[in-house]
Amino acid sequence: MAIEDVHRILVVGSGAMGSQIGAVCALAGYDTTVQDISPEALQRASDQLRTRLDRNVEKGRMSRSDVDAAFDRLAFETDLDAAAADTDLVIEAAVERLDVKREIFARLDKATPPHAILTTNSSTITSSQIADATGRPERVANMHFFNPALVMACVEVVRSPATSDDTFDTVLELARRLGKQPVALRKEIPGFVANRILHALRDEAISLLEQGVASFEDIDVACRTALGHPMGPFELMDLTGIDIAYQAKLARHAVSNDPRDLPSRTVTERYERGDLGRKTGRGFYDYGESS
């Protein structure tokens, strides 16, 4: 399928990533549906998007007419089969669990038109682990956005051994038409490009902390002031979620079976306590009620 055949996009999952990916698609002119099984989650996603985009209008980053037009193209739906019936391309952004994703893709395979491309936003689960749950493995790929999707320009597009050239090229071009900068991965590898580099830095930061070389605060300071990073690795884990860091390491270990890929003691302790970062008010840093 060519990019000119993509008119309607379905985003599965209305969390922070899914809702913002839906907004990116609608802002780029695509009729977009965000689907979630929870009506409350969909309402929350709609309200948060409205607040965020209204703020962009107030700051002059977007025009009121562009935002209103995007919301006219954006729908929210609880029924997956109904949402999938006339879609041309799916971006799945559900929970990072292989069993859940395989179930979703099996349903999408039955509910979407035969020409539809099915992509996953996962940064840890490769599409080859999901594609055989469908009857169209040649139309399955990873389309990995970065958080926050409304702001971050990078999208990693990853083909599996079964992904067709047409699918790969169409997903790459879609990323461009969404105003993003695609990074083409022609071979699957756990963690892809950006997160492999990020995880290497994070692992070294945690090693320095656990060896007692420096505090996590000072390690963050070094990364900001010496390396020019906008935030340090511990601040970034708090922002994206310590649970995400924990699950990503488990997913990588499941592929490699290398004990060095297991979550560190430092991350595991916080995960088990429920100190997951900004979302819970405490991670490496204490955010109190400001979170």
Q: Which of 92, 96, 156, 235 is catalytic?
A: 156
- 123 catalytic? Reply is yes
Q: Which of 144, 199, 235, 264 is catalytic?
A: 144
- 77 catalytic? Reply is no
Q: Which of 121, 123, 128, 142 is catalytic?
A: 123
- Print the SS3 string covering 92-144: ECCCCCHHHHHHHHHHHHHHCCCCCEEEECCCCCCHHHCHHHCCCHHHEEEEE
Q: Distance between CA 248 and CA 246 in Å, rounded?
A: 6
Q: Which of 19, 122, 195, 264 is catalytic?
A: 195
- 144 catalytic? Reply is yes
- 289 catalytic? Reply is no
Tally of residues, the chain? 291
Catalytic residues: 123, 144, 156, 195
